[in-house]
């Protein structure tokens, strides 16, 4: 029977944690993910702020979490949820995927986000030909080569450090006059001797068959300069995946993120949301905490 107490859509850090907690409550649960488990978490090159580990890669931690999750619930990878319909019976939601239809008493949305693009000339043309959004996926192609990392947050500086350790000659480009990343990461960038260019935006990515340079614009003077490079790594934020939430009538804030309360509840009864798709701090440990809360909230609501 394809009937579940809790269906979790998304197998990132939050979704996997929700599955672990849900299973230990004695409920019947299913995690669905359109890709491999881990989501963007698989791309994190190295974390130094996850409790219990001095250093650990996202891929390694996901493997550990996945192993634990499948002991507590069903996990279907590479199965895309296409539609969720509310019903009037005990199993309030009908979840249609590209492979089957499932029924559930509650839904936890852990649908995550995707990389935000620069939307400049040449970006689409050179994607996979020097333009990348994942340092751990593509970094090894750029050993001993010149690259630019675009962005000023934690992810951008973490990936810049990772690429530098691989032997790439990294230049970080940020549109503001200071980074938004944690001071610890900024200090590491300085210590590593990584070049930075502030108050600059990329206006165009140029090349022939592969990336050869970027056209930079000084945000203060408007001056344009051409910077030779072999690669462009982009880390300028994320776009939340809310199509399924909108199908259900879940409320979003002005930035397009799902609005939740302290119990991870949305405005729709028996629908919860966790992780990067929600308003709040985008951190691995936050998503995990939200997954634990959502699974517990769903269990309590089923019991009541």
Q: Active-site positions?
A: 134, 137-138
Calculate the alpha carbon distances from 32 to 50, 109, 198 in Å. 25, 10, 41
Select from 189, 217, 185, 221 the least CA-distant residue to 202. Answer: 217
Q: Percent helix, strand, coil in the chain (nearest 5)?
A: 30, 30, 40
Beta carbons of 176 and 205 less than 8 angstroms apart: no
Locate all alpha helices (DSSP H) within the chain, ordered by sequence. Answer: 13-24, 58-69, 135-138, 154-165, 183-191, 243-248, 284-303
**Rounded to whole angstroms, how far apart are CA atoms 42 and 61?**
9
**Rounded to whole angstroms, how far apart are CA atoms 73 and 30?**
6
Sign of the alpha-carbon torsion through 242, 86, 300, 15: negative
Select from 142, 143, 123 the least CA-distant residue to 236. Answer: 123
How is residue 91 written in tokens? Answer: 């199993």
Q: Residue 144, by phi and psi: left (phi above 0), alpha (psi -120 to 50) or beta?
A: left
């Amino acid at each position: 029977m394809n009937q579940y107490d809790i269906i979790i859509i998304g197998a990132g850090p939050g979704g996997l944690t929700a599955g672990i907690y849900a299973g230990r409550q004695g409920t019947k649960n299913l995690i669905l993910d359109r890709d491999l488990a881990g989501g963007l978490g698989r791309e994190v090159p190295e974390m130094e702020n996850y409790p219990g580990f001095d250093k650990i890669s996202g891929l390694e931690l996901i493997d550990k979490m996945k192993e634990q999750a499948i002991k507590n619930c069903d996990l279907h990878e590479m199965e895309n949820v296409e539609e969720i319909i509310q019903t009037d019976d005990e199993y309030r939601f009908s979840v249609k995927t590209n492979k089957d239809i499932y029924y559930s008493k509650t839904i936890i949305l852990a649908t995550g986000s995707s990389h935000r693009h620069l939307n400049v000339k040449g970006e689409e043309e050179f994607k996979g030909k020097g333009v990348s959004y994942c340092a751990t996926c593509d970094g090894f192609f750029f050993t001993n080569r010149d690259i630019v990392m675009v962005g000023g947050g934690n992810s951008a500086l973490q990936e810049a450090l990772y690429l530098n350790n691989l032997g790439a000659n990294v230049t970080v480009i940020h549109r503001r006059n200071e980074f938004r990343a944690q001071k610890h990461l900024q200090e590491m960038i300085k210590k590593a001797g990584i070049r930075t260019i502030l108050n600059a935006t990329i206006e165009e990515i140029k090349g022939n068959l592969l990336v050869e340079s970027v056209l930079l614009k000084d945000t203060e003077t408007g001056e344009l300069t051409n910077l030779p490079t072999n690669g462009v790594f982009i880390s300028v934020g994320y776009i939340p995946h809310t199509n399924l939430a909108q199908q259900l009538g879940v409320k979003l804030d002005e930035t397009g993120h799902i609005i939740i309360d302290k119990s991870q509840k949305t405005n729709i009864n028996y629908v919860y949301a966790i992780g990067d798709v929600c308003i709040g701090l985008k951190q691995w440990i936050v998503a995990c905490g939200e997954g634990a809360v959502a699974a517990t909230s769903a269990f309590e609501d089923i019991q009541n």
